[in-house]
Structure 1
Amino acid sequence: MLQNILILISAIAFLFYGVTFFTNSGMKEEFERYGLNQLRKLVGCLQLLGGSGLLIGFAWHLALIIASGGLSLLMLLGFGVRLKMKDGFWESMPSFLFMLLNGYICLVALGL
């Protein structure tokens, strides 16, 4: 039950944020600040795919493992970028927490 709630929270968050990568000018400005503007659309697509994969994972277990592992890796990279940019604690925290959340989902899905 807890696992399903965590999956839903993560899926909804990534679907929401994936959409904002295409609709919110603030996201464009953030990626320009990072010097990674060429990756913004890719990251948005990966977030949408990951969020969708988490939902598909309710029916197809392999999708859950791939999506949660991929999102955990994506958030690890995002956290690394935040550290490199010397962003503060609160700006860096979401990527760190979502890395942990999806890592946990992946480990449980793998039976570890």
Structure 2
Amino acid sequence: MLLKILTIISAASFIYYGISFFTNSGMEEEFRRYNLDKFRKFIGVLQLLGGSGLLAGLFWQPGLIISSGGLALLMLVGFGVRVKMKDGLLASMPSFIFMLLNSYICFAAICR
């Protein structure tokens, strides 16, 4: 039950955040600041696919493992970018927390 709840929370967050990559002008500015603006839409698509994959993974375990593992890696890279840019702890924590959350989901799904 806990795994399902955490999966739904993560999926909703990534779907919402993935949509914001295409609708939020602040997101464009943030990616320009990181000099990664050419990857913004690609990362948005990855987040939408990952969030959707988490939901599909509620019914198909390999999808849950692949999606949560991919999102954990994406958040690890995101955290690394935040650290490299010397963003503060508050700005860096969401990527770190979602990396941990999706790592847990991945390992819990593997051990099921």
Q: Same fold (TM over 0.5)?
A: yes
What is the aligned partner in structure 1 of residue 24 from structure 2? 24
1:63-78 map, 5 Å: 63-78=63-78
Distance 1:103 1:42 in 2: 22
Residue type of the alignment partner of 1:27: M
Residue type of the alignment partner of 2:27: M
What is the aligned partner in structure 2 of residue 84 from structure 1? 84
Distance 2:59 2:110 in 1: 15
Structure 2: stretches of 5+ with no match in the other structure = none
What is the aligned partner in structure 1 of residue 49 from structure 2? 49
- TM (norm. structure 1) is 0.99
* Dislocated runs of 4+, deviation >2 Å: none
What is the aligned partner in structure 1 of residue 6 from structure 2? 6
Residue-by-residue CA offset, 1:58-83 (whole Å, 9 max, x unaligned): 11110000000000000000000000
Cα RMSD (Å) of the superposition? 0.8
What is the aligned partner in structure 2 of residue 101 from structure 1? 101
Residue type of the alignment partner of 1:101: L
Secondary structure of 2:111 counterpart: coil
